[in-house]
Amino acid sequence: MSPGEAAVGFLVAIIAATACRAGELTVSVIDPSGHGVTDVVVVVAPAESAAPRATPTSPVAIMDQRDRAFSPRVLVVRVGTSVEFPNNDTVSHQVYSFSQAKKFQLPLYKGKSHPPVTFDRAGLVVLGCNIHDQMVGYIYVTDAPFFGKTDPAGTLRVPGLSAGEYRISVWSPFIADQASSLTRTVRVDAQAAASRVQLVDALRARPEPRPQRADWEY
Amino acid sequence: MSGRFHACLVAGLCAGAALADDRLTVAGAVDVRWVHSTSGLSFLDGGLGKLRFDQDDTGLRLGRAFVASRLRVTDIVTLHAVLDAYGDHDRNPVDLSELWAEVRPYPTSAIRWRVRAGAFHMPISLENRGPGWSDVYSITPSALNTWLGEEFRTIGTEFEARWLGASSGYLGDVSLIAAAYAWNDPAGVLIADRGFALTDRPSTLFGGLGRPPITFYHEIDRKPGFYAGLNWRHHDRLEVRALRYDNRADPRASTVAGGTAWRTRFSSLGARLTPTANWTFIAQYLDGDTIVGPDEADEDQFRMTYHAAFALASLEWARERLTARFDHFGTHQSSGFYYGPPADDSGHAWTAAWTHDFGTQWQLAAEWIRVTSRHPPRAAAGGMPPFVESQTQVAIRYRFSAGL
């Protein structure tokens, strides 16, 4: 019943194998019980400075608020991306960050719009709401050319890679494993490659959807 | 005095209504209920019954009508007010229950602070988390939280420093709370006179409880009181609250008008666990004492210890909520002869409640309470302990919330 209980040890396994179509890398993140972990940030960058073919950057990303929660909870963007913060909730919010990568304060009152915020430094930006302390969101700002989040099966496919060594990092607020164990180097050659990140520690408990009730704190 | 506060509130509401951008948030409810009670004369009508309604109250009653408003003065300053009506012939038909201003700057580091000043409930109850300090799990709060609503209001300033764990990868936070206040010297008189009770009838700032009405918000000895507490929130699933209260009243002090200072101290500890989105478990405990009368009276100085605890389980699904609660409470008069027979009170209560939401506005709430207690002053007034009282209520509630 107690949340966030520690897990007992499991093995770390990294399997880099060849399969699928040429130039595609498949990254899977697997929890200790063998299930894929969804919503995990995966960033892929060439291990050496060979210029890769970068994926196009979406012009603007969106971090919304609904039901007193950030939506999505985790957003991954390229350095230089502008992020809009519309408020589609029934109540007002005051979004802030005091993370080194980006510090800002954004009063998001209903009926008012704000210009987007540009994230110009790589790093993790932790978002909070000054009115609702339980609201936490994350913007993962990366300078890697390839990135995304795992699907419900815990998998992310990165197509269009030229041959070479790539460095993979995964991150999620719910992964409790040491950060040093969450990076891999994998070789992508003429054929495709797959990388499996097997987590050792149990995932941290995800906050449950909060019951709908009036927005009043006591 | 109360007229002035009402005028201020109305002015504030009007000023807010003229603004935009969700500057003013107003929430409230009207609760009308059918009541059936086997209780002896309720203390609200001058008796020693443990429940809000007694046999004479069976029928249709106003449970509560209230408006809770929050006005955003600036980005970081808000003004809060709660206006209440209970329809039970209190001295003001409509009265303020809370009125406070809060300063909550944006965090610039993992430590966030906030200050609030005015009149407000101290952060102990884990049941009363709705607008206007309303109980969201049942109609009637536990004996413990009933008492806090009856005799206590922080009229002063509270400071909170909260460590925000998210920036360190921890999904939760820890806050330290400290407050200094005045105008709460009579706190303790009701627990000594009556013992614990289970009602959803907190006191208002300018009203009184019982017949003749006891009023609670006076400064008698010109000494401030304090409380200090700790709140811990873990993964949105566990909330723990601990608090030490001491009103530091001088038990010798009294006023010409008959007001008396009661030295009241207690410690409280509570936890609310939400292991899934459907289940909630709450347990709270409170233990303390209250003293009145001159020091030189020695054994004649009245001193009473008290404790109250409850455990609650609540299951919520779709539009339904079911709650079961067990209360235990007791007081013990350890010295003093001011009150005839020892005023020791002991008892327990079972509560079962069901709520059904027809939508966001209409709610049906039903509750059954059974209290078993022993209270010598009540026996002395005629009666045979244990006193077993039960109350059934079926309420229809209209709730509203709007932003301007």
Q: Which of residues 102-121 of B touch A (CB under 8 A)?
A: 104-110, 112, 121
- Give the list of residues 6+ apart from residue A117 with CB closer than 8 angstroms, or none: A82, A83, A85, A102, A104, A106
Q: β-pairing, A60-62 with A81-84?
A: parallel
Q: Could you read off the pLDDT of A28-69 as tens digits, one per residue? A: 999 999 999 999 999 999 987 655 545 555 678 999 998 889
Residue B129 in contact with partner chain A when CB distance is under 8 A: yes
- Give the list of residues 6+ apart from residue A204 with CB closer than 8 angstroms, or none: A4, A173, A174, A175, A176, B171, B235
Report pLDDT for B199: 97
Nearest CA in chain A to B29: A214
Question: What are the extents of the domains in chain B?
Answer: 24-403
- ipTM rounded to 2 decimals: 0.83
Sheet holding A183-188, edge to edge: A146-149, A41-46, A164-171, A183-188
Nearest CA in chain B to A109: B21
* Residue to substitute from B114, B236, B240, interface A, most A β-carbons within 10 A: B236
DSSP-derived secondary structure letter, B165:
G
Residue B232's alpha-carbon distances to B32, B122, B127, B229, B237, in angstroms, are 36, 16, 16, 10, 11
Q: How far is CA A122 from the centre of its chain?
A: 13
Q: What domains are defined for chain A? A: 14-51+147-198 (2.60.40.10), 60-142 (2.60.40.420)
How many whole angstroms separate alpha carbon B136 and alpha carbon B238? Answer: 17
**Closest approach of chain B CAs to the CA of A109, in angstroms?**
6
* pTM of the shown model: 0.88
Q: Could you read off the pLDDT of B129-147 as tens digits, one per residue? A: 999 999 999 999 999 999 9
Report pLDDT for B167: 87
CB distance A134–B233 less than 8 Å?
A: yes
How many whole angstroms separate alpha carbon A18 and alpha carbon B391? Answer: 72
How many whole angstroms separate alpha carbon A24 and alpha carbon A191? Answer: 8
CB distance B131–A214 less than 8 Å?
A: yes
CB distance A128–B107 less than 8 Å?
A: yes
pLDDT band per the 50, 70, 90 thresholds, residue A71: very high
Length of chain A counted residue by residue:
218
CB distance B21–A111 less than 8 Å?
A: yes
Q: β-pairing, B24-37 with B320-335?
A: unpaired
Mean model confidence pLDDT for chain A: 83
Least confidently predicted of A87-91, A194-198, B146-150, B246-250: A87-91
| Res A208 pLDDT > 90 | no
CB distance B76–A204 less than 8 Å?
A: no
Residue B25 in contact with partner chain A when CB distance is under 8 A: yes
Q: Could you read off the pLDDT of A139-154 as tens digits, one per residue? A: 999 999 999 999 999 9
Residue B387, both tokens: 């006193």
CB distance A136–B171 less than 8 Å?
A: yes
Residue B222, both tokens: 């010109």
| Res A23 pLDDT > 80 | yes
**Closest approach of chain A CAs to the CA of B130, in angstroms?**
6
Residue A206's alpha-carbon distances to A55, A136, A172, B213, B282, in angstroms, are 31, 12, 11, 49, 21
Residue B168 in contact with partner chain A when CB distance is under 8 A: no
- Give the list of residues 6+ apart from residue B112 with CB closer than 8 angstroms, or none: A130, A133, B104, B105, B161, B162, B164
Which residue ranges of chain B lie beneath pLDDT 50?
1-2, 4-5, 8-19
Residue B388, both tokens: 């077993």
**Closest approach of chain A CAs to the CA of B74, in angstroms?**
11
Chain B partners within 8 Å of A109 (Cβ): 21-23, 72
| Res A207 pLDDT > 50 | yes
| Res A1 pLDDT > 50 | no
How many whole angstroms separate alpha carbon A46 and alpha carbon A20? Answer: 20
CB distance A1–B275 less than 8 Å?
A: yes
Chain A partners within 8 Å of B137 (Cβ): none
User: Span A174-194, mean pLDDT?
Assistant: 89
Secondary structure, 3-state, chain A: CCCCCCCCCCCCCEEEEEECCCCCEEEEEECCCCCECCCCEEEEEECCCCCCCCCCCCCEEECEEECCEEECCEEEEECCEEEECCCCCCCCEEEEEEECCEEEEEEECCCCCCCCEEECCCEEEEEEECCCCCCEEEEEEECCCEEEECCCCCEEEECCCCCEEEEEEEECCCCCCCHHHHEEEEEECCCEEEEEEECCCCCCCCCCCCCCCCCCCC
Chain A partners within 8 Å of B130 (Cβ): 213-214, 216, 218
Of the candidates B130, B173, B236, which has its C-beta nearest A214's C-beta? B130
Report the 10 Å Cβ neighbour count for B129: 18
Report pLDDT for B399: 95
How many whole angstroms separate alpha carbon B103 and alpha carbon B91? Answer: 32
Q: How many CB pairs under 8 A join A and B?
A: 109
Report pLDDT for A8: 29
CATH code for the part of the protein at B24-403:
2.40.160.10
